[in-house]
Amino acid sequence: MEEIQSQSDNYRSSSSSASSPASRVPSSNFFYLRKPGSLRQPISFEDSPEWEDTDADVRVEEGGDSINAATAPVSPSLSKLNSGSLPSPPMPEGAAVTRKTAGASVVWKDLAVTIKGKRKYSDKVVKSSNGYALPGTMTVIMGPAKSGKSTLLRAIAGRLHPSAKMYGEVFINGAKTRLLYGSYGFVDRETTLIGSLTVREYLYYSALLQLPGFFCQKKSVVEEAIQAMSLGDYANKLIGGHCYMKGLARGERRRVSIARELVMRPRILFIDEPLYHLDSVSALLMMVTLKKLASTGCTLIFTIYQSSTEVFGLFDRICLLSNGNTLFFGETLACLQHFSNAGFPCPIMQSPSDHFLRAINTDFDRIIAMCKNWQDDNGDFSSVNMDTAVAIRTLEATYKSSADAAAVETMMLRLTEKEGPLLKSKGKASNATRIAVLTWRSLLIMSREWKYYWLRLILYMILTLCIGTVFSGLGHSLSSVVKRVAAIFVFVSFTSLLSIAGVPALLKEVKIYASEESNQHSGALVFLFGQLLSSIPFLFLISISSSLVFYFLIGLRDGFSLLMYFVLNFFMCLFVNEGLLLAVTSFWQNIFWSILTLVTIHVVMMLSAGYLRIRNELPRPMWKYPLSYIAFHTYSIQGLLENEYLGTNFAVGQVRTISGLQALHSAYDISQSSNSKWENLLVLFLMAIGYRILVFVLLHFHVRKNVSLHRIWQCRKSTT
């Protein structure tokens, strides 16, 4: 304790010197946001303000579904409820009144989270955290990087991965219950948006995916979400930009991701890092918007790493974490007093959040150690020489014995002693509706994204023209058989290989699915059917245009039925290949490894397709069994050759003739049966179904697991 006291005094003296009267800027230039109606008075963060003896007493109205707050004197350490720190701007005449939301109280008691290691649950990310959040307020979980902020937020929301174990209790309106669908919203740190849709279109499709009922009833919900997040000026702009229209900035994109959750009209909204990658102006605009949202009655809980002084003034309560330990929970102004009482007063010219993080971030020890010999014009590079671990222990010990902690315990007891109204689950849209919405949305995306299928169509046409002109003028003699086999093999193989250009678009679709599935807006089966139905028109357009060019340039047999079989066969080839692309992309979820894997698979399938060496002559252990039977190239080429040569004869001299089957024997193996080409088409269809089943399994298990593992990796990173 003597060591702690001595180093604390040293820290106090160094901080006081930074804010001494001799070096102070006039405090009239430094303002802090207060309750609406009160004067904006300058505050020195070095000196503690006058705290009023007030606390929040929560009661539930009989027959109502909201919690009202009254004030009663309890603790001299808690300031007034700061739920209205920033007055909302006046509404213009004729503007729609913002819809009020019945929020819910949230209490977490002795909450701890451990992450499963190689042998047991050993990595403790959050350690015995206590706190609460009230309707109409903003509660922020703040701390340096790797402090467990996101883990605590996910634990409160009930969104931890099964490999993470949670201890403690979470109360919603005084009852120990989990949050149900529609009663809360959760916004991840990074949300995948659809850049080719406008803000209004994106939110409208999200509403159709989330809410039951008729389409016309959801327009008002979308307009409310747009108004709540101040997106009216951007409602008809594309989100991610287009070749002829600029997209939204990061601040607006972040507000769109929050608005997506607001279409459910949630009682509680969890946001992981709302200011992630935002500049100071966008951050302030975001927090003012969230403050306006909280004023409607919604309970807001979010994490934040760092904020400016203006943003800090908007918070109602702060939960300060360091290495999973709670160093403070309470009103924002009371946190300043807590640091001052512990011997760490905030200098006048320093942001409160910067000061908090400076005192509890262990990374600063390394910086000071690196720079301890550096000198500048004013002396040492850093005048602070206190060990951060000592500061953390001092702050934690001071908080546990303070009146603030006792007041928090009292408030938690009041919030949990009587159960309020239970939050009800909202209905979901039916699977049939979701499939229809995803199909139409995907069709709209594909039609607008020229890189999606239009570029592929152009590339297919160019490749087909190249192949057709190289193999043109073959004629119908016996000597042209081998060349026709080569042309069909090159056509099927190279066009299948070219389809790898669609990997980026498919990868984006998988990421959108993962983002929507995490919030139960979609499902594996729904996504699979939507993607399947929307891709069919574009694949058929590619197949019929490419087939017509190739068919007539090569000069294949005349006959409408023969031409239609060629188109259908090539369509099924593309259909199977699209399933293979989607399966590999879903497995890797990485563009480099997906393309590398697909190129390898296609090359191996081309080697075993039976053209470079007849299937019966391939080495049996590997190339014939099973590779030649797995390769879809084999069945597509066989079907096209059977369509071209079964029932044909070639004259050898003036008397003898041989069948097309005999003419092909030395170049490729085909069946003698007239139905074999339809059997090959059936095999292609079954392979397409098989790949889709594999995609369903990967989406249902592997994609969800990868998303959860990414969250767990973030949790593990917070403990290192």
pLDDT reported for residue 192: 86
| Enclosing domain of residue 243 | 194-255
- Co-location of 352 and 279 in the same domain: yes
Which two tokens mark 339?
Answer: 């640091």
pLDDT reported for residue 377: 45
- Co-location of 512 and 434 in the same domain: yes
Evaluate whether residue 109 is within a structural domain: yes
- Co-location of 286 and 356 in the same domain: yes
- Co-location of 125 and 241 in the same domain: no
Evaluate whether residue 476 is within a structural domain: yes
Percent of the chain with pLDDT over 90: 41
3-class SS of residue 454: helix
Domain boundary among 255, 278, 306: 255
Domain boundary among 202, 235, 255: 255
Q: Which region among 73-77, 302-306, 429-433 has the lowest average model confidence (pLDDT)?
A: 73-77
Evaluate whether residue 50 is within a structural domain: no
Report the Cα–Cα distance between both ends of the chain, in Å, rounded. Answer: 27
Across residues 606-620, what is the average pLDDT?
A: 90
Which two tokens mark 508?
Answer: 């984006």
List Cβ neighbours of 202 (8 Å cut-off, separation of 6 or more): 193, 194, 239, 256, 260
**pLDDT single digits (tens) 182-203:** 889 999 988 889 988 999 999 9
pLDDT reported for residue 121: 53
- Co-location of 293 and 442 in the same domain: no
Residue 702 vs residue 27, higher pLDDT = 702
Q: Considering Cα of 592, then 598, then 599, then 601, what sign does the dihedral take? A: positive
Q: How many domains does the chain have?
A: 3
pLDDT reported for residue 4: 45
Residue 277 vs residue 381, higher pLDDT = 277
| 281: CATH | 3.40.50.300
- Co-location of 609 and 701 in the same domain: yes
Inform me whether the pLDDT recorded for 308 exceeds 80.
Answer: yes
Distance of CA 288 to the CA centre of its chain: 24
Which two tokens mark 2?
Answer: 């003597």
Residues in the chain: 720
Considering 256-270, 423-437, 706-720, the range whose residues carry the highest mean pLDDT is 256-270
List Cβ neighbours of 409 (8 Å cut-off, separation of 6 or more): 130
Rounded Cα gap, residues 455 and 464, in angstroms: 14
List Cβ neighbours of 135 (8 Å cut-off, separation of 6 or more): 66, 67, 69, 102, 103, 104, 105, 267, 297, 298, 299
pLDDT reported for residue 364: 61
Across residues 669-696, what is the average pLDDT?
A: 92
Of the pLDDT bands very low, low, confident and very high (cuts 50, 70, 90), residue 217 is: confident
- Co-location of 293 and 249 in the same domain: no
pLDDT reported for residue 1: 46
Write out 586-639 in H/E/C secondary structure: HHHCCHHHHHHHHHHHHHHHHHCCCCCCCHHHCCHHHHHHHHHHHCHHHHHHHH
Evaluate whether residue 679 is within a structural domain: yes
Across residues 547-570, what is the average pLDDT?
A: 94
- Co-location of 198 and 336 in the same domain: no
Mean pLDDT of the chain: 79
Evaluate whether residue 99 is within a structural domain: no
pLDDT reported for residue 120: 54
Q: Contact 227/96 with Cβ under 8 angstroms?
A: yes
Considering 8-12, 309-313, 529-533, 702-706, the range whose residues carry the highest mean pLDDT is 529-533
List Cβ neighbours of 30 (8 Å cut-off, separation of 6 or more): 42, 43, 44, 309, 348, 349
pLDDT reported for residue 15: 42
Of the pLDDT bands very low, low, confident and very high (cuts 50, 70, 90), residue 652 is: confident
- Co-location of 490 and 570 in the same domain: yes
Evaluate whether residue 237 is within a structural domain: yes
pLDDT reported for residue 115: 82
Residue 615 vs residue 688, higher pLDDT = 688
Q: Pairing relation of β-strands 649-652 and 379-380?
A: unpaired
pLDDT reported for residue 406: 92
Residue 480 vs residue 684, higher pLDDT = 684
CA distances from 206 to 212, 237, 261, 444 (A): 12, 17, 9, 14
Residue 309 vs residue 653, higher pLDDT = 309
Q: Considering Cα of 642, then 645, then 649, then 650, what sign does the dihedral take? A: negative
Rounded Cα gap, residues 99 and 351, in angstroms: 34
Inform me whether the pLDDT recorded for 712 exceeds 50.
Answer: no
- Co-location of 529 and 645 in the same domain: yes
Evaluate whether residue 702 is within a structural domain: yes
Of the pLDDT bands very low, low, confident and very high (cuts 50, 70, 90), residue 680 is: very high
pLDDT reported for residue 190: 83
Domain boundary among 255, 273, 297: 255
Residue 636's closest CA among 602, 685, 672?
Answer: 685
Which two tokens mark 295?
Answer: 């004023």
Which two tokens mark 92?
Answer: 């213009």
- Co-location of 495 and 590 in the same domain: yes
Across residues 230-253, what is the average pLDDT?
A: 81
- Co-location of 651 and 558 in the same domain: yes
Evaluate whether residue 578 is within a structural domain: yes
Q: What is the helix, strand, coil percentage profile of the chain, to 5?
A: 55, 15, 35
Across residues 222-226, what is the average pLDDT?
A: 93
Rounded Cα gap, residues 77 and 403, in angstroms: 6
Across residues 270-294, what is the average pLDDT?
A: 90
Across residues 16-20, what is the average pLDDT?
A: 39
Rg for the chain, CA atoms, rounded: 33
Inform me whether the pLDDT recorded for 409 exceeds 90.
Answer: yes
Of the pLDDT bands very low, low, confident and very high (cuts 50, 70, 90), residue 144 is: confident
Percent of the chain with pLDDT over 70: 78
Rounded Cα gap, residues 135 and 122, in angstroms: 35
Residue type, 66: S
